[in-house]
Amino acid sequence: MKKILKFTFLLALSFSLATFTACTDDETCSDGIQNQDETGIDCGGACTACITCEDGIQNGDEEGVDCGGSNCDVCLVGAHGSWESSGDNVAPLLAGFVSKLVTEFNTDGTYTVTQTDLGGAETELKGTYTQSESSVDGIWDIVLNQSSPNQLTATGIFKITDDLMEYEVAQTDPAIAGVTAPTASAGLGSTSGGAFGTTNVQKFVRL
């Protein structure tokens, strides 16, 4: 009789342990602790895959694919990011004195342009900008308010195809006689009503 009771007790104990273990396994994916073989808190391993800013999917509280939200970098929109223009990409109107332009359009509305002349000397241009999608598909409007090394306003348009940005602006304040800004409705090459053709169109490659 004692043997039967002992066996029954051990069997019950084994069942209880098995049940406890199974419950624990289920609960660890929602216990707020990185345990088991999880690669993050309650994710990865035996749990659902962890949400990352590099998984190529818009998930979590991301505002775009792997950007925005509480954990990822701010989403890049329009001209946001770093760009370079050099060689044949420099607009013909500038090619006589500029060899390279490296531009950073920051997500906080500020910009920096490092302009390198034909002799290798660099000049840094800084200011603020606003951008907005125009009513013309693919073309954006942009206004730059330069504060350094001198104050001026330039107005224009840009179009981005993959990692190439076609960019055209003209100084509007202080005004230059005979110069008017390009418009989205007239398209690229419309500075001063098209008087300059595409010689004022700058091509930038995303860095």
Give a yes or no: residue 41 inside a domain: no
- According to DSSP H, which parts of 61-145 are helical? none
- According to DSSP H, which parts of the chain are helical? 2-27
Give a yes or no: residue 11 inside a domain: no
Which of 202, 162, 204 shows the shortest CA–CA distance to 182?
202
What is the pLDDT at residue 49? 87
What is the pLDDT at residue 1? 53
The number of C-alpha atoms within 13 Å of 145 and in the hemisphere containing its C-beta is 6
**Can you list the positions of beta strands (E) in the chain?**
81-86, 98-105, 110-117, 122-133, 139-148, 152-161, 164-173, 202-206
Task: List, run by run, the mean pLDDT of 10-residue segments along the chain (207 residues).
Answer: 48 46 63 91 90 91 89 91 98 98 97 98 98 97 98 98 97 97 98 98 98
Give a yes or no: residue 87 inside a domain: yes
Give a yes or no: residue 121 inside a domain: yes
Q: Do the beta carbons of residue 116 and residue 98 sit within 8 Å? A: yes
Which of 193, 191, 104, 204 shows the shortest CA–CA distance to 156?
191
Q: State pTM to two decimals.
A: 0.75
Give a yes or no: residue 197 inside a domain: yes
Q: Please name every residue paired with 164 in a beta bridge, in sequence order, or none if there are none.
A: 161, 205
Give a yes or no: residue 42 inside a domain: no
Give a yes or no: residue 64 inside a domain: no
Instruction: Give the sign of the dihedral formed by CA 92, CA 96, CA 99, CA 103.
Output: negative
Both tokens of 42, joined, read 């309650």
Q: Do the beta carbons of residue 101 and residue 85 sit within 8 Å? A: yes
State how far the Cα of 153 lies from the Cα of 132, in Å rounded to an integer. 16
Cα angle, residue 92 at apex, residues 87 and 95 outer, rounded to 5°:
55
Give a yes or no: residue 20 inside a domain: no
| DSSP, res 2 | H
Domain limits for position 113: 81-206
Q: Do the beta carbons of residue 203 and residue 92 sit within 8 Å? A: no
CATH number of the domain at 92, please.
Answer: 2.40.128
Domain count, the chain: 1
What is the pLDDT at residue 26? 62
What is the pLDDT at residue 11? 45
What is the pLDDT at residue 17? 45
